[in-house]
Amino acid sequence: MINRRSWFKKSAAAIASVPLVNATFAATPSAPLDSTKVLGTPPKEVGTRSGFEKLERLVYAREASSASATPLELLNGIITPSDLHFERHHGGIPTIDPDRYALLIHGLVDRPLKFSLTELKRFPAESRICFIECSGNGGRAVLGRGAPVAEEVTAGQVDGLFSTSEWTGVRLSTLFDAVGVKRKAKWFLAEGQDSAVMSRTIPVEKGFDDAMIVYAQNGEPLRPGQGYPVRLLLPGWEGNAQIKWLRRIDVSDTPFFSREETSKYTDAKTDGRIEMFSFVMAPKSIITSPTFPTVLPGKGWNEIRGLAWTGHGKIAKVEVSTDGGNRWRHAALQAPVLSKGTVRFRIPWQWDGKPALFMSRATDELGNVQLMPGVFADNRGPATFYHNSAIRAWKVDASGRVTFGQNELA
Amino acid sequence: MKRAALLLLLIASGITFAAERFGLGTPASADDIARWDIDIKPDGAGLPPGQGAVSEGVGLYDQLCLACHGENGQDGQYDQLAGAPVPEEFATTFVKRTIGNYWPYASTLFDYVRRSMPQTQPGSLTDDEVYALVAYLLYLNGIVDADAIMNSESLPRVEMPAQSRFYWSDEVAHLR
């Protein structure tokens, strides 16, 4: 019997059955004994990864309303290769003809206008490196649901509904000026052109602050799974609100209370109340290496590596504990530390060969700190799994085997 | 803060970035807007003419929705639509979320079903059919009586059991 939380349940089942290395990959190429003695292959129009590297997203369920997660544990730096950017769509990926595309802005405006893709590209452009995190990211790491969380899971399985790209487009404020947003406007509906006609209401002030209408990702046109030809970018805010395949903006004085901001993506509290419009993603970090399925080769030196981000601005520091949360050390942050971007942190660790629980804790420039799961869950009812930014732990046993250690924090 | 200061400075020095200078965008006609404008608000703004009764919704549901959402909106393959405990239990126990215990506004139901359902034929329902299905789903959740008829007058008047539980986060409280 599968209930309305079927998506997460099924994903959990799918995860359990998905082999980490998928058989759909071409066979590993054979390399000559001495590559300096064999003439190499000529250049091609489109490059591919080395046949020795198996990088793929983890697909939750092969259905229209499903998701695929970024394999965080296999990546370096902060930019997610576009073909590995996570996806979550509610009605599948639409096919949209760029020549027939238009963005309509209407409602509380002086001049309702339609913009073609060509016109959007002619506006002053801007690029920005931003993370996008699904509101439901880490839902699988929520403790206290009766059963322990799975331990043989990768960092991508835990928090891979999170990716980082350089996005290019036009500031929404520029378009708001073009249509003349009226003074009493407070909210705008952003609506997609997918079969779910996904819609969310966003405060107009975000539109005037740093929201963008983007058409490019890491230099190339948006991938279909990321909203081709145009998506809304809301730096630092929950992924669901950053409507893909954007076709309409309806400027208004009150929210529309769409299904995605009421029935979904809201947080039920222990006092029985339900919080809406929690847009900003809290500071968060996750160690990506060493993590499952790594087996440490023996005691000695390791570099602990991970990712940290916050929707409030810049990450101020990341601390790492390798003794179950007693002692914390500052990790080095890789420059540049970008506002509403992602930062890579690293710290050396001498493993003494004994079982250990290690974890990271992010603090942002406003002083917001990533909380221990217990504290984090304090005011959250059991039916809530969105916006789970609690500290993530990994554990290593005496044999060097690393697994997800979240249950130890229960 | 920085941006705001900059803007003031530009205005003070007489330089303004009147956006029309880009000369981009085509005026959207009333028809252009009507073709896409499908959103509906809790006060009923946006609701189309037409109506539907619970009795009409039953057949439509069984034919178009039951396969995915289960008999009477329960225990289907996808989202549970009805039949879960009242909101009171919700804070402390892991109960299924349904229209009856977790939807603040009936307008959202019309808006969502019309734009997205049935999943494999989105946007295929007539407005009368959507009204009928909404009536039936509200009936299944014990919110309206078996003889209820939904239209642009009655739907905004439906009081959802969970409405009083919903509140705005601190992030947007100033926009109330």
Do B91 and B109 fall into the same domain? yes
Do B19 and B70 fall into the same domain? no
Q: Report the residue of chain A nearest B28, measured CA to CA.
A: A113
Q: CA torsion A306→A313→A389→A91, rounded to 10°?
A: -100
Do B17 and B45 fall into the same domain? no
Do B19 and B103 fall into the same domain? no
pLDDT in tens, A251-269: 999 999 999 999 999 998 8
Q: Which residue has the higher pLDDT, A4 or A355?
A: A355
Residue B134 has pLDDT above 50, yes or no: yes
Do B12 and B87 fall into the same domain? no
Domain that holds residue B148: 38-175
Do B64 and B19 fall into the same domain? no
User: pTM for this structure?
Assistant: 0.93
Do B150 and B107 fall into the same domain? yes
**Residues in A 163-192 with any Cβ partner in B closer than 8 A:** 174, 177-180, 186-187, 189, 191
Q: Report the residue of chain B nearest A91, measured CA to CA.
A: B119
Do B44 and B103 fall into the same domain? yes
Contact across the interface for B116 and A112, Cβ inside 8 Å:
no
Give percent of chain B above pLDDT 90.
80
Do B25 and B69 fall into the same domain? no
**ipTM field:** 0.90
pLDDT in tens, A142-198: 887 778 899 999 999 999 999 999 999 999 999 999 999 999 999 999 999 999 999
Do B1 and B29 fall into the same domain? yes
Do B2 and B58 fall into the same domain? no
Compute the half-sphere exposure of residue A259: CA atoms within 13 Å on the CB side of its CA.
19
> The domain that contains B105 carries what CATH number?
1.10.760.10
Beta A187-192 vs B166-168: how paired, if at all? unpaired
Cα distance from A405 to chain B (closest Cα, Å)?
24
- Confidence band (pLDDT; 50, 70, 90) for A271? confident
Distance (Å, rounded) from C-alpha A83 to C-alpha A74?
14
Closest residue to B27, CB basis, from A111, A209, A256: A111
Closest residue to B105, CB basis, from A5, A114, A262: A262
Walk me through the domains of chain A, giving residue ranges and CATH numbers: 98-274 (3.90.420.10), 284-409 (2.60.40.650)
CA angle A394–A396–A397, rounded 5-degree value: 145
CA angle B158–B160–B164, rounded 5-degree value: 125
**Residues in A 13-72 with any Cβ partner in B closer than 8 A:** 64-65
Contact across the interface for A383 and B97, Cβ inside 8 Å:
yes
Best B31, B114, B169, B174 residue to mutate vs chain A (most A CBs within 10 Å): B169
Structural domain tally of chain B?
Answer: 2
- Confidence band (pLDDT; 50, 70, 90) for B95? confident
Cβ of A272 under 8 Å from any chain B Cβ? Answer: yes
Contact across the interface for A104 and B28, Cβ inside 8 Å:
yes
- Encode burial over B88-104: b for 16+ CB neighbours within 10 A, e otherwise: eebbeeebbbbbbbbbb
What pLDDT does B89 receive?
62
Contact across the interface for B103 and A197, Cβ inside 8 Å:
no
Do B95 and B138 fall into the same domain? yes
Residues in chain A with CB shorter than 8 Å from the CB of B168 are 275-277
CB B118 within 8 A of CB B112: no
